[in-house]
Structure 1
Amino acid sequence: MRGHTIVLGLVGPLLLGSCALFGLPTTYLFKHNPNQADPSAGGNAVASVSGGMVSTVLSVSGLTPGKAYIAHYHAFGPDSSTDPCASNGPVTVGFPNFVADASGNASVTLKTDTAKIEGDKGAYINVHYASDPSVVPICAPVKLAKG
C-alpha cells in the first residue's frame, strides 16, 4: 500500500472545512513514512462534521498483528513546508489506543470538537507504535499548506 496520494490533493489545500460546507465525509489516505516499520501499512481516515463536532474513523491495514498503536492529530510544526507529515508538530488531540487484529487490520474512531483540529491544528494524522511513539509507520496529511 505504498505510494498513496492525498484524495483531495488535486483540489487544493483543504481541511475539514470542506466537510462543514457540504456536510459530506472527507477521505484522507495514509502514506508510508520513510522508515522500515510496518512496510505494508496503509489505509485511510474518513472525517465528517456535524453540529460543531468532527468524527474521524481510521481504517488501517498492513500493521503488525497483535501490536498496540496510538494515533493523533498533529498541528503543523516548525519544520513545515509542503509536507505536513515531516513538520514535527505538536499533538492536538489523540485517538483511543488500539491493537491490530491477527490480520494486521484495525479501525478506531475519534469524536471531538472541530476547534481542536481546525486551522493549522490537525494538519496531519500519525499512527505510532504505542510501545515507542517515535516509530511512525504511516501519516495522513489533511492540510497541505500552513495558514
Structure 2
Amino acid sequence: MFVDKIVLGMATTALLGSCSMMMGGGTTYTFKHNANAADPAAMGKAVATMSGGMVSTTLTVSGLTPSKAYIAHYHAFGPASSTDPCASNGPVTLGFPGFMSDASGNASVTVSGDMTKIAGDLGAYINVHYASDPSVVPICAPVKMTKG
C-alpha cells in the first residue's frame, strides 16, 4: 500500500508538471558550461512552452563573447552517452535562427517547431555554438537526462 502511494505521488507530480507546460507556463532548462575555454562566463536558460502540438523555445544567455555570431540547436541523444546528453554528440532535430550577442555579451533567440522534433529521445539537449566554428560549444542545456 505504501509503495502504491509513492507511485501515485510520482505519477501525479509528472502529470502536473506536463500540464503546466501544456497550459503555457513553460519549462525552464538551465545552461551548463561545457568543459572548454570558450566564453567562460557564459550562462543562461531555455524556456520551452507547448501549445497545440507545437513548441516555442526562447534562449536567454549572457557572458558570451561581445558582438559575436552564434547558432543553437536542439539535439537528440547520440551514441556517446546514455547519462549526459550534452556529451552524447547527437544529431540536430530543430535549429534556432542564427543570432548575435550584443556589446555586453547578451543574447536572446526563439524558435518554434513541431513537438515531434523534440519528443521522445529527440530534444535531449540544446547547445549554443560559435557560428564561425560549430565545433566550439560554450554552453549546453540538458532537456532529457536519460535515454528511453
Shorter-normalised TM range: 0.7 to 0.9
Report the secondary structure of 1:49's partner residue: strand
Distance 2:81 2:120 in 1: 14
- Mind listing any 5+ residue stretches in structure 2 that lack a counterpart? 1-9
AA partner of residue 31 (structure 1): K
AA partner of residue 93 (structure 1): L
- 1:1-147 to structure 2, matched below 5 A, reads 18=18, 19-20=21-22, 23-147=24-148
Distance 1:23 1:135 in 2: 33
Distance 1:88 1:131 in 2: 19
1:81 deviates by 2.2
Distance 2:25 2:65 in 1: 32
Question: What percent of counterpart residues are identical?
Answer: 76
Comparing 75-84 with 127-136, which one deviates more in the overlay?
75-84
Larger radius of gyration, structure 1 or 2?
A: 2
AA partner of residue 45 (structure 1): A
Structure with greater helix share of residues: 2
* Aligned residue pair count: 132
- Mind listing any 5+ residue stretches in structure 1 that lack a counterpart? 1-10
- Asked if 2 retains the 8 angstrom alpha-carbon contact of 1:80 and 1:146, the reply is no
Distance 1:108 1:24 in 2: 18
Instruction: Give the alignment's Cα RMSD to 1 decimal.
Output: 1.5
TM-score, normalisation: structure 2:
0.86
TM-score, normalisation: structure 1:
0.86
